[in-house]
Chains A and B, each alone.
Chain A
Amino acid sequence: MSGINPKTYLQKVDGILILLYLMLVFVGIISIYAVEHTGQNMGFFQMDKSYMRQLIFFGIGMLLSVIILFSDSKLFSNMAFLSYGFGILLLLVVLVIGKNVNGSKSFLVIGSIQIQPAEMAKFFTALALAKFLSALDMNFATTRNRLIAVGIALFPAVIILLQKETGVALVYFSFFLAMYREGLPNWVLLSAFGLIVLTVATLMLSPLTFFIVITIIAIFIIYDNRRKIKKRKKYLYRIVGIWAVCMIFSQILVPFTFTTILKSYQVQRIYTMIGQDVPPAYAGGVEGEVKQTASEYNVSQSKIAIASGGFFGKGFLNGAQTKYNWVPEQRTDFIFCSVAEQFGFFGSTILVLLYTGFLMRIIFIAERQRSQFTRVFAYGLAGILFFHVLINLGMTIGIAPVIGIPLPLVSYGGTSLLTFTIMIFVLVRLDADRSLILR
């Protein structure tokens, strides 16, 4: 595909996606600016400020995107496995020589630049998964292929877990959404969802109550299906089996996990999310009264800042709660507070709608592809973005556990911004050739 005709090419480039992208980056830069703005008139262009750095990273991103837009679309599918290998290599290198930041070893320092391979590996994994699923003789219905796909998606996550970046590792589970679209059976997602509900229910109810509720539900279902059961005993066994799994899960598995596998701060986070105190049985290691932990404090400060915005917000640069360290990590993970405080419910709704629109657009783009490679890649991107937005916004408003992952395109952070920029523009590039079949 040598010789791009600029006229026809530009018509194929998805302007709406790029426009939404630019809007989100713009929101990010003004939010970081507002956080650092202290009222003293010191000029906009200060190299030591985060918003300036973010702006520079945005510039680099634009440069890269131009290069991407003018490169061959086959390049990405051809390079997929190679780059995946490269990514894995980087992750392993970081594990050995990485810089230790707050107990996690995920940064690679080259001169004055710090990069986080765990962020970049998302891109490579998305490419590799797309490449694998779009292979000519691929039959995704076989268990073997499914397991390979899951392996491709989760292998980086395992290494990242070893780097102790639990939050970033969890992001790789979002590839299940892409795999689901490509034919992973319903029960996988349903049982995953069921397990979450079961866990929350276990934590919120006393064992006795839980037992009674589950048993009543089981009896009700058996009574409701008594005719079917009379015909075939199999239904009864199935219901009793599910009941037994629930019981084992809640009475043995959850207590076991909470006391021996999870660390006390992780237990704390999970209980914070469901709005309850950690029971003494699980508060292992913490002596005496359980004090308000850091994550609890973060979330309550974050909620205060968001709530203080009211309907229309306090106005640009008038945020008081998102300055001077009231909300910890206010430039990075909790940047949404800045938006919500300054622009209120009105502004934050617009931001949520921007993300929703962005995701819908990506799904729309994914569905118009002839090439399965592009579709899987698009769904991979959509899944990652969706997971980031859901968890990040959810944790700032207290409906998701505090997992330290950034808000895509808005949070301060060069690697994150560049990774998402590259992924989005690769999608735009691939989409421009949507009539082709790439493998």
Chain B
Amino acid sequence: MSDFNQNRSIVMQGLVLLVGIVLILRLLLLQVFGVGGYKEASKYQAVKRKIVIPDRGLLLDRKKRIILNNTMFYDLRFVPKVLKNQPDFDTLRLCKLLNVTRQDFDTLTHEKIMLNGWNRNITLYKNLSPEAVARLQEGINDFVGIDLVESAQRVYPYNAGASFVGYINEVTAEMLQKEKYASYRRGDMVGITGLEKQYEDILRGKPGIQFLLQDVQQRIVGSYKNGEMDSAAVAGESLQLYLDIEMQKLAEEMMTNMLGSAVAIDPKTGGILSFVSSPTYDPNMQTGNDKSANMRKILADARKLTFNRAVQATYPPGSTFKPITAIVALDEGAITPSYGYPCHGGYYACGKRIGCTHSGAGHAANLTAAIAHSCNAYFCHVFRLSVDSPANNNVRTGVKRWGQYMDKFGLGRPVGIDLPGEQGGNIPSVKYFDRVYNENWNSCNMSILGMGQGELLLTPLQLANAMCIIANRGYYKIPHFVKAIGDDSTHEKLQPYMKKNVVAKNTNNNFEAVVDGMRGVIEFGTARGAKVKGVEVCGKTGTVENYTQINGKRIKLKNHSVFVAFAPRVDPKICVAVVVENSGYGATWAGPIASLMIEQYLYDSISPERKFLVKRMADAHLIPAITYIRDSIEKRQEREKYEKWKKELNRKNDSINRKKYIDSIKARSTKKIKEPKESWWEQLVFTDDKRKKHEWNKS
């Protein structure tokens, strides 16, 4: 048969090629150029990116006891549809294992389904009890689709250290805006206070990423590409502290009902052995399910539980400042250790009498005796001598130089502890005196600084650090908590704390004279009660007058009890500073507490005959009524302020709303609402809206 249609073969071939080209072009658009957004959509479907949260680092004390740990909490989670699809699912048994009634289970499940739908994972029970977890884990294989989801929480095994360990919480929206928190995502935990905040980058670790495959019901069915794209989570490094948790617990217990602080430092290393701000609270209140309710309770407490008295409260040091005055004068060359002052019960050189508790002859015959007897006149005079020393041309340079000494001692500025929020206290400057005395002053105006009164304000930490300088005979290392990061004690972050800060030269047995005086305080001076058997404790008491303003009235409160000490005298191992607010003499409260801490630290226990002392301290109720009065006044003021603000706001909103309302009525009455006009081409194109309006098949 003749073939007269052969040219049609070319048409057919053309058709095949054309279709091939069209298909390839369409694939090019879809796959390479991502037209239509399908390429983008695939990112959020079958492959799920799961962030693996690393274990947070632990805190260990000096004997490697864990003082901050992680525990696992278990949540019960499942996809409702998966259970529904199993007709033989034994819900009753599950309820029995969970120790809930079937009715509760069903109502709760129903509620969650209403919120999330059938196909999403729902968390039915949070933080299951350990018994329920144990029971469930045994039989978990019988319950297909039931997941026990682990989550880590912080736990404080010793219930101690709330003042410095700090806590973690979910990162807030404001924090996420900052560059510092760029690596954080919503829901991540972050250190809010204390060491948790200070060492956040080390404790946090590195989050890992898992790529998981999920099926169409969003159930995880395995890892993507056998996990070759995954990155493992790196657990946070643990921090090894200098802290002695037993001593910490003892000190916290003793100071339960006191306002104040106790700081103990190892003078050799600057390591903080104990760090109490009292009253405190159980740090475990900061974790778990009742976290936010507990935090509200803590914040509302009249005793200001979150106020860190060890580094944020500042006190006049009182007599505990006298050894520092002495060191400055000795280093300046203003006096020698043998210098004596004829005190007869007062200091009269500047006209006005400054009282001294001693009047016996020779109680300030030399420096050692003056410290042991805590002679006020002696130290006022010594202060004046050092400020007015001939090396300084005038009193201005003298005070300036004295200020420089104070700065070297770490006073008048934050010492630099590895804790956020440290305060610097106050050291009066030349400028300050110029302002107060109208530029017309001399050393007489401020001689009481020498005995620790006047405009001086120190934090307990600064007091303890000053003790370290005396114990070390002239130098200190910046007080800090962390001994080693992981096992690395020379970590870059710890370098600033390695440096010896030399404050004064130890020549002519300068320091020994001061140390002897402080030894005398314990042996035969004011603090005989602070003796520790078999240890040469050196200390100094302080009893600080203080006043407060209530409703504009100046009221004298009970004295602060202050005590500083170090032990032993040769090769000291611990320096302590204790402040108990509004309690009385330094020797009555602060002294015994410090000595018991020293005993606990050096002997690891309290001797039986001193146990009663611990009990006496713990049972004391020394929180003054003024605390509660002040708190209620503050709260009332705050409430009034808030109500005023709210009223103002309401009024403002009202007027704005009224204006808006009136405007809208005006607009409605005056303006005739016009229908939006369509251009000619809009009328041609058949838009969706128009299609709805248009009824083109009325037949």
Contact = CB atoms under 8 A, between A and B. Distances in A.
B213 A323 contact: yes
Interface in B646-699: 684-686, 688, 690-692, 694-697
Contacts of B178: none
Given A307-B42, A324-B215, A180 B19 contact: no
A318 B225 contact: yes
A105 B20 CA distance: 34
B182 interface: no
Interface string B19-39: 110111011101110101011
Interface in B29-72: 30-32, 34, 36, 38-39, 41-43, 45-47
Contact of A352 (B23, B688, B694): B23
Given A281-B695, A345-B27, A348-B31, A181 B686 contact: no
B214 A310 contact: no
Contacts of B686: 204-206, 209
Interface stretch (A2-10, A20-28, A353-361): A353-361
B79 to A, nearest CB: 14
Interface stretch (A75-83, A92-100, A238-246, A392-400): A392-400
B84 interface: no
A151 interface: no
Interface residues of A, number: 66
A344 interface: yes
Residue from A304, A340, A355 with most neighbouring chain B CB atoms (10 Å): A304
A186 to B, nearest CB: 9
B4 interface: yes
B8 A180 contact: yes
B38 A300 contact: yes
Interface stretch (B10-18, B128-136, B162-170): B10-18
A352 B1 contact: no
B30 A397 contact: yes
B46 A310 contact: no
Nearest to A38: B222
Nearest to A275: B36
B31 A340 contact: yes
B38 A304 contact: yes
A138 B221 contact: no
Interface in A336-393: 340, 344-345, 348-349, 352-353, 355-356, 359-360, 363, 366-367, 372, 379, 382, 386, 389-390, 393
Nearest to A134: B1
B38 A306 contact: yes
**Of A212, A311, A356, which is in contact with the most chain B CB atoms at under 10 Å from its CB?**
A356
A344 B216 CA distance: 22
Nearest to B1: A372
A300 B28 CA distance: 17
B8 A323 contact: no
Contacts of A206: 684-686, 690-691, 694, 696
Contacts, number: 157
A307 B686 CA distance: 30
B222 A39 contact: yes
B296 to A, nearest CB: 46
B6 interface: yes
Contact of B46 (A326, A359, A393): A326
Interface in A62-104: none
Given A255-B697, A324-B46, A306 B8 contact: no
A397 B29 CA distance: 10
A183 interface: yes
B692 A181 contact: no
A310 B31 contact: yes
B549 interface: no
Contact of A326 (B30, B215, B688): B215
Contact of A367 (B6, B41, B695): B6
B224 interface: yes
B103 interface: no
Given A39-B226, A397-B23, A304 B41 contact: yes
Contacts of A353: 20, 24
A324 B12 contact: no
Given A300-B38, A363-B12, A309 B216 contact: no
A277 B688 contact: yes
A426 to B, nearest CB: 20
A73 B359 CA distance: 139
Contacts of B222: 38-40
B13 A360 contact: yes
B26 A399 contact: yes
A324 B221 contact: yes
Contact of A303 (B36, B685, B694): B36
A292 to B, nearest CB: 14
A306 B27 contact: yes
A306 B30 contact: yes
B5 interface: yes
B32 A345 contact: yes
Contacts of A344: 31
A138 B20 CA distance: 34
Contacts of B41: 304, 307
13 contacts: A138-B1, A206-B694, A208-B684, A304-B38, A320-B213, A323-B221, A326-B216, A344-B31, A345-B27, A352-B24, A367-B6, A379-B12, A386-B16
In the complex, the 9 A-B pairs of residues with the closest C-beta atoms, listed nearest first: A308-B42, A324-B215, A206-B686, A307-B38, A320-B46, A356-B20, A307-B39, A345-B31, A303-B38
Interface of B: 1, 3-6, 8-9, 11-13, 15-17, 19-20, 22-24, 26-28, 30-32, 34, 36, 38-39, 41-43, 45-47, 213-216, 221-226, 684-686, 688, 690-692, 694-697
Given A138-B1, A356-B19, 19 more contacts: A38-B222, A180-B11, A183-B4, A206-B684, A206-B686, A279-B691, A303-B30, A305-B42, A306-B31, A320-B46, A321-B45, A324-B221, A326-B45, A340-B31, A345-B31, A352-B20, A359-B16, A382-B16, A399-B22
